[in-house]
């Protein structure tokens, strides 16, 4: 199988020449070499020739259960006829229109749908970001691009421009604060804001430096909470750390604090403790800075609410929000930025323009694909299915893996779960459909495996073999940015109970066999 160690979106490839190629039977003569700059130049990846629902069909005859939907992307599974028909129809209408001169019905419909989806529930009718009535959208505009990295670049620029366009401009605000072990994209600006040491290392000399970005601790209860500390005390301690960092760099010099509501593959589905985001938002408001929430991986229904900030454990209104993966379900490359009304109001009273643009911004085919994906989710109650199936997934993984000596933690929300080092004691109905599983050498001390052992990737590779035929999503760096292994499970929103049970069975089987232990029977 593959010799890779990968990052949040399979971005970092570390070669191990001792491992065999993915396709051992592929002719490796120069004439047969691929013209694609694959993530590995030493091996060829498996070839997908089709997909239907939760399964991928490979050229070698395998039928793979796609338990991670790629990188938590294919939220409706593969081969959905409704989306294919909508994309074809849009192509026959108009495939491209430059957003500097034109708009399209597809772009207008998608952005209106997204803005309307930010209506506030009755329990959160007021925010320090402004006063809202229940049912009123918190966000005023949407900006559509082609990837999460592009969305983050736009969000950072927008935050900077906001302070330049205030009635009394604040041009000294040139800094951002983010969190360690975070990942916000792979372009230089987005990677510079991210705090994942392993992903930054190779490019550190050309990333923005400490004069622009600094980092504070992640909210990771498994590794960060002190003995005897309550969740409320932990949240307040992290908020104090953020406040100290604002003071250190100059509170009036910071544009925004950037964070993922539920950390994706960089830490492996780490949800915040209740009250954390309210605490850090108070710090942002104290210093006049914005709050940017990166929901590229955790948003658009993945954790059991349309937007992660609408979850009761998060319950804040961001100033700027990025979205991606489940927005278009992989049917077209599409991502976006949602902008709070107070940000839009400042721009409207100022220059009346956002000083940023992309060639494929608001691409009509991508927009139509996203519209149809979101309509399918809404019309068929799939976010409710995320909650129900997520609870079954979480309970099953925790039951099956609690006695495995090298599983430190099973954590997640909705259909976003990981095996890593979480608390096995409680499972509730809000458990998400993404699960993460963190692996440790010693369960008591939480000692991680060394990176050179490639535990997460090896578990993924074992899962891809017969008789398992399951694809999980491996990740590294969950302990300190370099050490720490985990795998994610993130099924499609329309997954069935039978498929969830199959995912639990296969996931536990692969992990148990890899560590040569017998996990709890289903």
pLDDT in tens, 167-199: 999 999 999 999 999 999 999 999 999 998 888
Say what the pLDDT of residue 425 is.
39
Say what the pLDDT of residue 480 is.
81
Are 265 and 475 spatial neighbours (Cβ–Cβ below 8 Å)?
yes
Cα 358 from Cα 150, distance rounded (Å): 9
Helix axes 105-116, 364-379, angle to 10 degrees: 40
Say what the pLDDT of residue 420 is.
66
Report domain extents, the chain.
1-84+381-522, 104-379
Say what the pLDDT of residue 479 is.
83
CATH topology (fold) of 104-379: 3.40.640
Residue 282 DSSP one-character state: H
Cα 156 from Cα 45, distance rounded (Å): 35
- Please report how many Cα atoms fall inside a 13 Å half-sphere around the Cα of residue 123, on the Cβ side: 8
Three-state secondary structure call for residue 247: helix
Tokens of 354: 């956002």
| Structural element, H or E, at residue 383 | helix 382-401
How far is CA 432 from its chain centroid? 13
| Structural element, H or E, at residue 508 | helix 497-514
Tell me phi and psi for residue 41, to 5 degrees. -90, -5
Question: Does domain 1-84+381-522 correspond to CATH entry 3.10.180.10?
Answer: no
Are 434 and 294 spatial neighbours (Cβ–Cβ below 8 Å)?
no
Say what the pLDDT of residue 33 is.
81
Tokens of 375: 């309509």
| Ranges of the chain whose pLDDT falls below 70 | 1-32, 121-134, 420-436, 518, 521-522
């Amino acid at each position: 199988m593959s010799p890779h160690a990968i990052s949040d979106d399979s971005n970092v490839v570390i070669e191990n020449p001792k491992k065999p190629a993915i396709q051992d039977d592929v002719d490796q003569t120069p004439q047969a070499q691929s013209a694609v700059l694959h993530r590995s130049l030493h091996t060829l990846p498996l070839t997908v020739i089709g997909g239907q629902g939760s399964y991928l069909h490979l050229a070698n005859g395998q039928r793979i259960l796609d338990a991670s939907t790629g990188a938590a992307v294919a939220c409706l599974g593969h081969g959905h006829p409704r989306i294919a028909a909508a994309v074809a129809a849009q192509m026959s209408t108009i495939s491209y229109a430059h957003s500097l001169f034109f708009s399209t019905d597809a772009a207008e419909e998608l952005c209106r749908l997204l803005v309307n989806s930010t209506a506030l529930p009755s329990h959160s009718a007021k925010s320090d970001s402004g006063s809202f009535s229940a049912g009123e959208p918190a966000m005023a505009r949407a900006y559509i691009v082609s990837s999460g990295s592009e969305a983050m670049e736009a969000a950072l620029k927008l935050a900077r421009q906001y302070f330049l366009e205030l009635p009394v401009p604040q041009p000294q605000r040139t800094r951002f604060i983010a969190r360690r072990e975070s990942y916000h994209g792979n372009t230089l600006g987005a990677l510079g804001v991210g705090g994942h040491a392993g992903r930054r290392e190779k490019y550190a000399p050309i990333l923005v430096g400490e004069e622009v970005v600094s980092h504070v601790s992640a909210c990771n209860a498994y590794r960060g909470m002190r003995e005897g500390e309550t969740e409320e005390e932990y949240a307040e301690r992290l908020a104090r750390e953020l406040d100290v960092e604002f003071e250190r760099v100059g509170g009036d010099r910071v544009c925004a604090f950037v964070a993922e509501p539920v950390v994706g593959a960089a830490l492996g589905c780490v949800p915040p403790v209740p009250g954390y985001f309210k605490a850090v938002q108070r710090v942002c408001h104290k210093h006049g800075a914005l709050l940017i929430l990166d929901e590229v991986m955790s948003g658009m229904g993945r954790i059991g609410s349309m937007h992660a900030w609408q979850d009761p454990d998060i319950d804040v209104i961001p100033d700027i929000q990025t979205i991606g993966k489940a927005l278009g379900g992989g049917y077209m490359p599409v991502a976006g930025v949602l902008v709070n009304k107070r940000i839009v109001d400042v721009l409207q009273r100022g220059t009346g323009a956002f000083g940023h643009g992309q060639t494929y911004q608001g691409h009509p085919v991508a927009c139509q694909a996203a519209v149809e994906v979101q309509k399918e989710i809404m019309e068929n109650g799939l976010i409710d299915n995320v909650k129900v199936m997520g609870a079954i997934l979480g309970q099953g993984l925790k039951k099956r893996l609690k006695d495995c000596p090298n599983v430190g933690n099973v954590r997640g929300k909705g259909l976003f779960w990981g095996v890593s080092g979480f608390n096995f004691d409680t499972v509730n109905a809000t458990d998400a459909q993404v699960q993460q599983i963190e692996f440790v050498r010693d369960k008591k001390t939480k000692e991680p495996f060394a990176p050179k052992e490639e535990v997460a990737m090896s578990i993924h590779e074992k899962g891809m073999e017969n008789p398992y035929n399951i694809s999980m999503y491996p990740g590294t760096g969950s302990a300190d940015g370099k050490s720490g292994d985990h795998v994610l499970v993130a099924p499609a929103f329309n997954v069935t109970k039978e498929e969830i049970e199959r995912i639990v069975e296969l996931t536990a089987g692969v992990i148990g066999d890899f560590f040569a232990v017998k996990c709890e029977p289903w």
